[in-house]
Amino acid sequence: MPNFESSFDVIVIGAGHAGTEAAVAAARLGASVALVTSALETIGQMSCNPAIGGVAKGTVVREVDALGGIMGRATDLASLQFRMLNRSKGPAVWSPRAQCDRGLYRRAVRSLIEECPKLQTIQGTVARLIMDDEGATVIGAETLERRRFGARCIVITAGTFLRGRIHIGTDMNLSGGRAGESATTHLAEQLERAGLIVERFKTGTPPRIDGRSVDFSQLQTQQSEIDQFDYSWSHFWPTPRVSDNWTRHPDQIPCWITYLEAPGKQIIADNIGKSAMYGGAIASRGPRYCPSVEDKIFRFPDAQRHQIFLEPEGHDTSELYVNGLSTSLPAEVQVEVLHSIRGLEHARMNRAGYAIEYDYYPPTQLDPSLQVKSVHGLYFAGQINGTTGYEEAAGQGVVAGLNAGLAALGRDSITFGRHTSYIGVLVDDLVTRGVDEPYRLFTSRSEFRLTVRQDNALERLAPIALELGLYTSREVEVVERRFSADREARALADDTSIRPEQASAILSAVDSHELVHSVKIAEVAKRQNVSLAALFAAVGVGQYLDPAAVISTELEIKYAGYFDRERIQANKLKRMGEFALPENLDYNSMASLTFEARHKLTAIRPRSLAQVSRIPGVSPSDIQNLVIEVERRRKRSVPT
């Protein structure tokens, strides 16, 4: 047995969005946790865009929060600007997005981490995993500084650091996990020697500029639409300790909009051969839905202009993030492009944009708990699994952290179904389908996006968190009060009548026909554009209810028919999920299955029939034959 400095139930390697959530999740279970990072000052660092949320992503933030995570809490303490995207569309795609003060966010994350008594932060770069004598189970980790720590389980959340390589133009590249920080090579080499399949992806970041050099008079201003929206339910009844020295929703700051137009497009076209991504220096694939500006020029040649957002980095700096101008052009060309943009004619570039290549491990090598199939006790989360985005990383961090903690404590693992959460969709897509480009969540990836919404994340996932024991006693009280408010809002809507004269102004404002007699509020709330909160106010009830409970109740009333149909489908999927498949099934011996099905099932090792149904190349007839084969084997195993 190696001589360890100290031992933990769980070690988490990397302290970005996946790592911090994994560490907190395991610690909330009661596991002892070490969060190991190369620099404590960069815990919770926002490496790219200083924003949290967006389409589907905002729902993930609220799901992470419902499971005791910290991303939503930190965002509420650091948000500079808030917008609810897709308000003109249905509630399934309403998407909260908050611009954050980068420094405040990082400090909030660290403060929240340090509230966990069973979580220790350690500065160091992990050089290798320590394995048992058979080499099949992790038992610890060793840093470059030769510090050794024991662990029952380890979660790797290395982001872009595994053999990361930064490119600025075709003739400048250097080793790095992000600008100014060293890449991790020793650990990457060990994982490859262990037999894991490794591939490369790339991503990029835009330049940052000095806001004092921008002519804002030429730009369109985008103000915050803040209406005291909170990602986290945890701030209420009463205020948590971490907020005592913090202000929720600091002073709001606008963003500004400008455009890359013909002159800038021409500069990029003329210099395209100098781009690392187009000049041959990078061959790996990048995120399709977050393209570089070079990609935009070639993929959309007929577009007259491309929108650019100038986003503030924080209250304590004039630096602006140039969203929409991700690039790997040489620095001098980036300056020339910036100066071609209206309002940026004299802009000073603080930091050049760059592209970065890094190792990832195709996630079909993981089981649904995000444990590596070939190495017991080892879990992966975040960009190491081929995803992109802070929110996707955080969601995986919660899953990996919970399962590592549960395994270390001798408890059963947990999986999240597609019908319960976007986190469930994310993990299922990764381990079942794999990735051929950096994976990003969209509402279209979920079959249940009407019932899996940002407004009902707590309702969906708090029962799981309560069962696992993830909440403090204060948080249990908060959840119980919120659920009580939900029930009371529904009861008021169902039992309270509204008279024609009380509803008249509300209905006429939305061109809805008048009432001819008193009816229940729930019936009137079914009408399009009629607000349940306004109906309550007209009658003089419910003013004390949590607004979030009223909104969720209104949606359940308005879209009850749609929700019921979707929940029927969710129950069918749940039943398929309950048809468990033994881990040691010999698919190759099942002659009734096609060769492709046998090959895919052997590689992925699905845990349930529901997972089988989503594997590309497995047909409905294969699924029927698989059920027969499994039932036949089960009957044979029963003693007669």
3-state SS, one letter per residue, for 593-633: CCHHHHHHHHHHCCCEHHHHCCCCCCCHHHHHHHHHHHHHH
Tens of pLDDT, residues 277-306: 887 777 777 777 678 899 898 888 888 999
Comparing 43-52, 238-247, 363-372, the range with the smallest average pLDDT is 238-247
Comparing 240-254, 330-344, 575-589, the range with the smallest average pLDDT is 240-254
Task: State whether CATH 1.20.120.420 applies to domain 208-352.
Answer: no
CATH of the structural domain 579-637, one choice from 3.40.50.300, 1.10.150.570, 1.10.150.120, 3.40.50.720: 1.10.150.570
Percentage with pLDDT > 90 across the chain: 66
- What 8-state DSSP symbol labels residue 552? H
Comparing 83-87, 144-148, 227-231, the range with the smallest average pLDDT is 227-231
Confidence class for position 244, pLDDT limits 50, 70, 90: low
Which are the contacts of 115, defined by CB distance < 8 A and separation ≥ 6?
Answer: 241, 242
Residue 419, classed as helix, strand or coil, is coil
Which are the contacts of 557, defined by CB distance < 8 A and separation ≥ 6?
Answer: 493, 522, 525, 526, 532
Prediction pTM value: 0.90
Residue 591: predicted pLDDT: 86
What is the Cα–Cα distance from 394 to 191, expressed in whole angstroms? 23
Do the beta carbons of residue 625 and residue 639 sit within 8 Å?
Answer: no
Same fold, 473-566 and 579-637: no
Tens of pLDDT, residues 413-427: 999 988 899 999 999
The closest alpha carbon to 602, from 612, 615, 588, belongs to: 588
CATH superfamily of 6-159+359-456: FAD/NAD(P)-binding domain (3.50.50.60)
Q: State how far Cα 490 lies from the chain centre.
A: 31
What is the number of other CB atoms lying within 10 angstroms of the CB of residue 584? 6
What is the Cα–Cα distance from 282 to 299, expressed in whole angstroms? 18
Residue 236: predicted pLDDT: 61
Do the beta carbons of residue 284 and residue 164 sit within 8 Å?
Answer: no
Q: Quick one: fold of 473-566?
A: Arc Repressor Mutant, subunit A (1.10.10)
Residue-range domain boundaries for the chain: 6-159+359-456, 208-352, 473-566, 579-637
- The tokens describing 334, both together, are 């980036």
Residue 574: predicted pLDDT: 72
